Amino acid sequence: MTELCEVLIEEANVDGIAELTGRVVVLVPETGKLDQMARRVNRLMRGALERFIESDRFGELKPGQAVDLAFPGGMAADVVQVVLLDRRAKPLAVRRAGAAIAKAAINQPVSILTGPRREVDDLLLGILLRGYAFLRRFSDEDDAKSRMGAPSSIKLLVPNPDDVADQVALAKSKASGVYLTRDLINEPANVLTTTAFADQLSALKKLGVRVTVLEEPELAKLGMRALLAVGQGSQSPSKVVIMEWSGGGVAPPLALVGKGVVFDTGGISLKPAGGMEEMTMDMGGAGTVAGVMKLLAMRKAAANIVGIVGLVENMPDGNAQRPGDVVASMKGDTIEVINTDAEGRLVLADVLWYVQEKFQPRGIIDLATLTGAIVIALGDKNAGVFGNDDSLTDAFLNAAKSEGEGAWRMPLDTAYDRMLESRLADMKNSTGRPAGAVTAAKFLQRFIKEDMPWIHLDIAGVASIARNTTFSRKGATGWGVLTLDRLIADRYED
C-alpha cells in the first residue's frame, strides 16, 4: 500500500531552530501571541515574523490557513510557514491546518514547532490525509516524485515526546486505514481483480484480523445465487471475504458489509462508454470496510466487529445473466432481473442475509456505490444514509459530523415498497429512475430481519470524486473510514 511519510518526534530545543532545514512551521493564534519557540524564530529573523503578524495579510487569514515567509534570515530553513491556529481550535480546524502544511510541502522535510499544544494527533492526521498520492503505476521514479503530495518527512518538535507518542500512533493508524481504502479504490481493475482483492484482505491477518475467503463452490452450497449470477459473465471468480476483529469480549459483533464490484460494465445492460473507466471504484463499499478493519486492528479496538464483502465483476459474456432472468437469493426470495446494471443490490442481498444467519450481529451497516440517483440528489458532498433505527442512525450522523464527512438521511417510507413489485417473482431489482436511491435501499431492507438495527450508506457520490478537497486529491477520498471508527469508539467499545 501507499506508505506514510516518515514521522519523527523530538524534544523541542530553542537552540537547534536555526539549524533546521527545509520548511519550519510556526503555529500562531489569532491574538498573535508567540510561544517560546516562535519567539526564537522571530529573534532569528530579526523581528520579521512579528512584523508579518502585525500586518493586514495576517489579519486576513482564516483559521487553518497559512502563509510562507521565504528564505528567513538567520535560519538554515528555506521557508518559515506561519499557520493561524488557536490553542483551543476544534479538531477539524486543526486538521485543516495540517492539510495546509502538507499542501505546501511537496517532497520537502517539515519541522513543526508545536509548542504546548495537545492536538498533535489531529494536526498530524491532517498532514497525512492531504499528503496522500497514488503513484504506484508510474514507471518513472522521478515523474512519480514530481507528483508527490506529501512532505518527505515530518518532524514534530514537542516539549515532551513521551506525552504525544500515543497520539502520533493513533493518527498514523487512522491515516493507514484511509490509505488502504484509497489505494483499493484507485487501483485499476486489471490489477485489483477479485482474487487480488481477497489477497489484500487476507494480509490483514498479520494485524490479528481473522480472515476467511469463501469461494464459488461454497457460495453455491450456501445458496448465494443472486451474488453468483452477477459474476457469472466474468473470468474473475466471485468471492465473499469475512474479516473478524474480536476485541470486545463476548458481545455480539457489529457487522460492516461492503459491495465489492471490482469493475462494473453494467453487464448485458451495458453502460455508455463515456465515464465507464470510473467503474473501477464500484468496489468502494468493500474498500471502506477494509480500511475500517485495518484501523481497528492497528489501534486494538475494544470491540467485536465483523467486516464482510462480496467481490464480483459484472461483465457481458455468453454466460452473463440477462434482463428478464429470475434468480433466487440465499434468503429464498426470488428476484426478477430488470436491469443487469442494478447488480450491487443482488450482491448485498445475499451477503446481508448470510451475515445475519452466521453471526447474529447487534447491528448492520452496509456501504455501496449503489446508485447514480444518489449522486443526482446529493452530489459529491454527502452520502445517502438510510436507516431503520433512529438511535443507530442518529449516532452515525453525529459521528459523520464530528469527522467532517458529509452524510444526509434519506427516507425509507413503506409507500415505496409497491414500486418493487414484479409480475414474475417476489420482487424486481430495478424500478427505473424515479426515487432510484430510495427503491434500491428498500430492496436491501427486504433482506434485513425484523428488529435488526440497520443502516444503508449509498456512497456513489463521495467514494471517488473529480476534484481536490481539503483532505484529499482527485480520486478516492476514503470517505467513511474515520466516521465508522468514531461510531465504533463512541458506541461499541467498552
Domain for residue 174, yes or no?
A: no
384 and 420 housed in the same domain: yes
Q: How many residues does the chain have?
A: 494
Q: Is the pLDDT of residue 139 over 70?
A: no
Average confidence (pLDDT) over 148-177: 93
155 and 254 housed in the same domain: no
Q: Is the pLDDT of residue 416 over 80?
A: yes
pLDDT at site 17: 97
Can you give 68-120 as a three-state secondary structure string? EEECCCCCCCCEEEEEECCCCCCHHHHHHHHHHHHHHCCCCEEEEECCCCCCH
48 and 146 housed in the same domain: yes
Range of the domain at 428: 180-491
pLDDT at site 303: 98
Task: Kindly report the backbone phi and psi dihedral angles of residue 306, in degrees, each rounded to the nearest multiple of 5, phi listed first.
Answer: -115, 125
Strand partners, 427: 335
Q: Is the pLDDT of residue 466 over 80?
A: yes
User: Domain ends where: 161, 192, 213?
Assistant: 161
Between strands 427-428 and 153-158, the pairing is unpaired
Contacts of residue 212, defined as CB under 8 A and 6 or more positions apart, other chains included, come to 241, 242, 244
Q: Which residues are catalytic?
A: 271, 345
- How do residues 423-437 score in pLDDT, each as one tens digit? 999 999 999 999 999
| Domain harbouring 116, CATH code | 3.40.220.10
| Domain harbouring 366, CATH code | 3.40.630.10
- How do residues 361-397 score in pLDDT, each as one tens digit? 999 999 999 999 999 999 999 999 999 999 999 999 9
Average confidence (pLDDT) over 482-487: 98
What region does 345 belong to: left with phi over 0, alpha with psi -120 to 50, or beta? alpha
pLDDT at site 118: 80
Dist. CA 277–CA 85, nearest whole Å: 41
- What share of the chain in percent tops pLDDT 90? 94
Q: Is the pLDDT of residue 148 over 80?
A: no
pLDDT at site 382: 98
User: Is residue 168 a contact partner of residue 120, using CB atoms and an 8 Å limit?
Assistant: yes
Domain for residue 1, yes or no?
A: no
Query: Would you call 313 helix, strand, or coil by DSSP?
Result: strand
150 and 201 housed in the same domain: no
Query: Would you call 465 helix, strand, or coil by DSSP?
Result: strand
pLDDT band at 1 (very low <50, low <70, confident <90, very high): confident
Dist. CA 295–CA 488, nearest whole Å: 11
State how far Cα 85 lies from the chain centre: 26
User: Domain ends where: 129, 161, 193?
Assistant: 161
- How do residues 300-320 score in pLDDT, each as one tens digit? 999 999 999 999 999 999 999
What separation, in Å, do the N-terminal and C-terminal C-alpha atoms of the chain show? 31
Q: What cell was used for 469? A: 478537497
209 and 113 housed in the same domain: no
- How do residues 161-173 score in pLDDT, each as one tens digit? 999 999 999 999 9
Q: What cell was used for 197? A: 482483492
Find the radius of gyration of the CA atoms of the chain.
24
Domain count, the chain: 2
Q: What cell was used for 163? A: 506525552
Can you give 49-69 as a three-state secondary structure string? HHHHHCCHHHHCCCCCCEEEE
Domain for residue 326, yes or no?
A: yes
151 and 213 housed in the same domain: no
- What share of the chain in percent tops pLDDT 70? 98
pLDDT band at 439 (very low <50, low <70, confident <90, very high): very high
Q: Is the pLDDT of residue 53 over 90?
A: yes
Domain for residue 207, yes or no?
A: yes
153 and 184 housed in the same domain: no
pLDDT at site 146: 59
b/e map 291-304, b = 16+ CB within 10 Å: bbbbbbbbbebebb
Between strands 153-158 and 6-11, the pairing is parallel
Domain for residue 50, yes or no?
A: yes
User: Is residue 31 a contact partner of residue 87, using CB atoms and an 8 Å limit?
Assistant: no
Domain for residue 195, yes or no?
A: yes
- How do residues 245-279 score in pLDDT, each as one tens digit? 999 989 999 999 999 999 999 999 999 999 999 99
Q: What cell was used for 489? A: 469508539
Query: Would you call 234 helix, strand, or coil by DSSP?
Result: coil
pLDDT band at 106 (very low <50, low <70, confident <90, very high): confident
155 and 293 housed in the same domain: no
pLDDT band at 143 (very low <50, low <70, confident <90, very high): low
pLDDT at site 264: 98
Contacts of residue 317, defined as CB under 8 A and 6 or more positions apart, other chains included, come to 232, 233, 234
pLDDT band at 145 (very low <50, low <70, confident <90, very high): low
Domain for residue 199, yes or no?
A: yes
In this structure, how many other beta carbons lie within 10 angstroms of the beta carbon of residue 408?
14
67 and 107 housed in the same domain: yes
80 and 193 housed in the same domain: no
| Helix ranges restricted to H, 250-360 | 284-298, 344-359
Q: What cell was used for 479? A: 470517505
Task: Report the range of poorest mean pLDDT among 4-13, 115-124, 447-456, 459-468.
Answer: 115-124
Q: Which among 387, 388, 385 has a CA at the least distance from the CA of 368?
A: 385
Task: Report the range of poorest mean pLDDT among 37-41, 142-146, 330-334.
Answer: 142-146
Q: Which among 460, 454, 456, 448 has a CA at the least distance from the CA of 350?
A: 448
249 and 367 housed in the same domain: yes
pLDDT at site 117: 80
User: Domain ends where: 110, 132, 161?
Assistant: 161
pLDDT at site 69: 97
Q: Is the pLDDT of residue 71 over 80?
A: yes
User: Is residue 21 a contact partner of residue 151, using CB atoms and an 8 Å limit?
Assistant: no
125 and 227 housed in the same domain: no
Domain for residue 169, yes or no?
A: no
- Mean pLDDT computed over every residue of the chain: 96
- How do residues 193-241 score in pLDDT, each as one tens digit? 999 999 999 999 999 999 999 999 999 999 999 999 999 999 999 999 9
Cα angle value 465/467/473 (rounded, 5°):
90
Counting beta carbons within 10 angstroms of the beta carbon of residue 422, is it exposed (0 to 12), middle (13 to 18) or buried (19 or more)? middle
Dist. CA 30–CA 52, nearest whole Å: 13
Can you give 128-157 as a three-state secondary structure string? HHHCCCCCCCCCCHHHHHHCCCCCCEEEEE
Q: Is the pLDDT of residue 140 over 80?
A: no
pLDDT at site 142: 62
Contacts of residue 440, defined as CB under 8 A and 6 or more positions apart, other chains included, come to 342, 345, 370, 371, 373, 458
